[in-house]
């Protein structure tokens, strides 16, 4: 299926050791384009209620583990998002000459693993793919990042590895609790195996694991560090895809496999989510480095996702639950597109000027209008303007959360003012006013850059105008 297409590309590339950089990028782009076609074909085939397009191959029968994959309304949009973002990353990365073959292979491996996590229906398989994403990202940052990359990569790796341990424990607990014992996630979802204290302990382990990955305050500090040093495409994948693994896990495991425990713990999760959203927004407001700022807004936006999931966990009526969960999943997709575009654009600014400091930039809208207006569009999308992708998502999350915890929703809404403030400040400092003398002449969006970022922006508009294109798929699952 589509999962292994990128891996095939990577193997082809590794099998041809003396191929040049151009060839490597061509393989990368072709493979990820084919993967996107595969993902779109999956979209076309659609999902019913529950899981569809299931493939099952015996693997370790004695343990009840098997190669089981399939999609539902929650994972399918994320798989398509992953394919879109990886293609954009490959297109944007086509300028990298340094060890291009390893770079492309790693990124392809990462793509297989990411799609694998979303499609896995077996906990062992899930864990396997989960760990592979970690390794892939570590090498991308450590190998192709900026000055402090080794340290950032190590921080990233240790931090998220720390999160893997509770995940493994939780998976084992779920396995041991199931009767007959199996790693089949569908069984866990249909009949959550654990109750009482066991369920609560498992939930705590899951929450810690996914809180680190998502990330939520106070487990987020690896994120800005990793983003600042990661190469542009690495940031796109990290923010656009890998963060979603955390919230996806939150839905798939915590919400669906330990629902009662989650309901009991939801007030705490909601507090953490709201604090995370506001903390991330305020921390972003204090940044002067564009990339760090965008990184912190991820903490804000992912806080809204967690808020939506937690609200869905407590909601007693189906309407509110659907509203909150739909909003949370749509928010994941929107964040992937918008933040992906923002990281690409910041990367372009850095490629041209050699800096990301707002103080050293200025007037770029007059110098590079296409790039500038793209940034303005992406920034307004990120601050939740109607007609762009984040608005329907956040509106539903707020509406759903308000039905359960009005006060939490009221605090969370304050976040949209802070994000508005920080993006306007960034636009004003970097793109408006007089251009600084060093940056009066520079090329506007090139063809490669346009092919990477424009599709993301178009999808942002499409999702903002017609959110039901995705919501109708999501709604099958929620």
Instruction: Please tell me whether residue 405 binds another protein under the rule CB under 8 A.
Output: no
To 5 degrees, how large is the angle CA 417–CA 423–CA 424?
85
Axis crossing angle, helix 196-213 with helix 259-285, rounded to the nearest 10: 20
Is residue 158 a contact residue for another protein (CB under 8 A)? Answer: yes
Measured between alpha carbons, how far is 433 from 435 in angstroms, rounded to an integer? Answer: 6
Closest contact distance (angstroms) between CB of 240 and another protein is 22
Interface with another protein (CB under 8 A), residue total: 58
As beta bridge partners, residue 57 has 67
Q: Write the Ramachandran bin of 393: left for phi over 0, alpha for psi from -120 to 50, otherwise beta.
A: alpha
Q: Is 156 in the site for another protein (CB under 8 A)?
A: no
Give yes or no for a contact between 160 and 222, defined as CB atoms under 8 angstroms apart.
yes
Which of 399, 442, 461, 462 binds another protein (CB under 8 A)? It is 399
Instruction: Give the span between the Cα atoms of 79 and 95, in whole angstroms.
Output: 26
Distance set, CA 64 to CA 21, 139, 195, 243 (Å):
43, 32, 21, 29
- Is residue 359 within the footprint of another protein (CB under 8 A)? no
Query: Among the candidate windows 73-81, 265-273, 359-367, 437-445, which touches another protein by CB under 8 A?
Result: 359-367
Are 32 and 111 in contact by the 8 Å Cβ rule? The answer is yes
Instruction: Find the binder of another protein among 65, 418, 452, 459 (CB under 8 A).
Output: 418
Per-residue binding letters, 293-332, with another protein (x by CB under 8 A) = --------------------------x--xx--x------
Is 401 in contact with 290 (CB distance < 8 Å)? Answer: no
Among 95, 94, 108, 117, CA closest to 139: 108
Which CB, 210 or 431, lies closer to another protein?
431
Using the rule CB under 8 A, give the single segment among 23-31, 141-149, 446-454, 466-474 that binds another protein: 466-474
DSSP label at residue 184: B
117 vs 299, beta carbon nearer another protein: 299
- In the list 352, 425, 448, 476, the residue contacting another protein (rule: CB under 8 A) is 425
Report the residue number, 201 or 399, with the smaller CB distance to another protein.
399
Rule CB under 8 A: is residue 409 a binding residue for another protein? yes
Binding mask 199-238 for another protein (x = CB under 8 A): -------------------x--xx-xx-------------
Quote the Cα angle for 345-351-356, to 5°. Answer: 70
Report the residue from 259, 421, 446, 455 that binds another protein according to the rule CB under 8 A: 421
Pick between residue 28 and residue 224 the one whose CB is nearest to another protein.
Answer: 224
Listed ranges 140-148, 172-180, 246-254, 385-393: which one lies at the site for another protein (CB under 8 A): 385-393
Question: For residue 14, how many other CB atoms are within 10 A of its CB?
Answer: 15
Choosing from 6, 64, 240, 467, the residue that interacts with another protein (CB under 8 A) is 467
Q: What is the DSSP letter of 368?
A: S
Element of type H or E holding 280: helix 259-285
SS3 content of the chain, % helix, strand, coil (to 5): 75, 5, 20
**C-alpha span between 166 and 466 (Å, rounded):** 39
For the chain, give the number of residues: 478
Applying CB under 8 A, among 33, 128, 282, 454 the residue interacting with another protein is 282
What is the rounded distance in angstroms from the CA atom of residue 437 to the CA atom of residue 207? 50
Asked if 161 touches another protein (CB under 8 A), the answer is: no
Candidate list 100, 199, 285, 310; residue touching another protein; CB under 8 A: 285
**Sites of contact with another protein (CB under 8 A):** 155, 158-159, 218, 221-222, 224-225, 279, 282-287, 319, 322-323, 326, 363, 365-366, 376, 380, 385-387, 391-392, 395-396, 398-399, 402-403, 406, 409-410, 413-414, 416-418, 420-421, 424-425, 427-428, 431-434, 467-468, 471-472, 475
């Amino acid at each position: 299926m589509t999962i292994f297409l990128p891996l095939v590309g990577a193997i082809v590339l590794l099998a041809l050791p003396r191929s040049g950089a151009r060839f490597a990028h061509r393989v990368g782009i072709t493979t990820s384009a084919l993967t996107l076609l595969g993902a779109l074909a999956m979209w076309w085939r659609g999902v019913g209620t529950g899981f569809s397009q299931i493939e099952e191959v015996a693997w370790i029968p004695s343990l009840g583990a098997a190669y089981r994959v399939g999609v539902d309304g929650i994972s399918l949009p994320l798989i398509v998002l992953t394919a879109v973002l990886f293609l954009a990353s490959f297109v944007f990365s086509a300028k990298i000459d340094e060890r291009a073959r390893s770079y492309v292979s790693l990124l392809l491996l990462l793509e297989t693993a990411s799609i694998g996590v979303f499609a896995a229906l077996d906990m062992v398989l899930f864990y396997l793919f989960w760990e592979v994403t970690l390794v892939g990202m570590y090498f991308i940052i450590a190998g192709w990042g900026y000055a402090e990359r080794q340290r950032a990569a190590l921080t990233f790796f240790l931090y998220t590895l720390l999160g893997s341990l509770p995940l493994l424990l939780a998976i084992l607990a779920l396995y041991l609790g199931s009767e007959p014992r199996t790693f089949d996630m569908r069984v866990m979802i249909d009949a959550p195996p654990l109750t009482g204290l066991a369920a609560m302990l498992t939930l705590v382990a899951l929450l810690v694991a996914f809180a680190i990955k998502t990330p939520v305050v106070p487990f987020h500090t690896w994120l800005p560090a990793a983003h600042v040093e990661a190469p542009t495409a690495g940031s796109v994948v990290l923010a656009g895809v890998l963060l979603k693994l955390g919230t996806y896990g939150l839905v798939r495991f915590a919400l669906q496999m330990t629902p009662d425990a989650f309901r009991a713990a939801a007030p705490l999760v909601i507090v953490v989510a709201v604090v995370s959203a506001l903390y991330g927004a305020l921390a972003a407001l204090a940044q002067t480095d564009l990339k760090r700022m965008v990184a912190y807004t991820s903490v804000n936006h992912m806080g809204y996702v967690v808020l939506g999931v937690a609200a869905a966990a407590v909601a007693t009526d189906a309407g509110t639950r659907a509203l909150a969960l739909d909003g949370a999943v749509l928010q994941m997709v929107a964040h992937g597109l918008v933040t992906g575009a923002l990281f690409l654009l910041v990367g372009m600014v850095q490629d041209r000027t050699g800096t990301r400091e707002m103080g050293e930039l200025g007037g770029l809208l007059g110098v590079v209008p296409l790039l500038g207006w793209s940034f303005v569009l992406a920034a307004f999308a990120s601050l939740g303007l109607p007609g762009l992708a984040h608005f329907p998502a956040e509106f539903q999350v707020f509406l759903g959360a308000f039905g359960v915890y009005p006060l939490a929703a009221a605090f969370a809404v304050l976040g949209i003012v802070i994000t508005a403030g920080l993006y306007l400040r960034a636009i004003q400092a970097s793109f408006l006013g007089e251009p600084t003398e060093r940056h009066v002449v520079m090329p506007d969006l090139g063809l490669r850059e346009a092919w990477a970022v424009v599709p993301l922006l178009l999808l942002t508009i499409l999702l903002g105008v017609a959110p039901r294109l995705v919501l109708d798929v999501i709604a099958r699952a929620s």
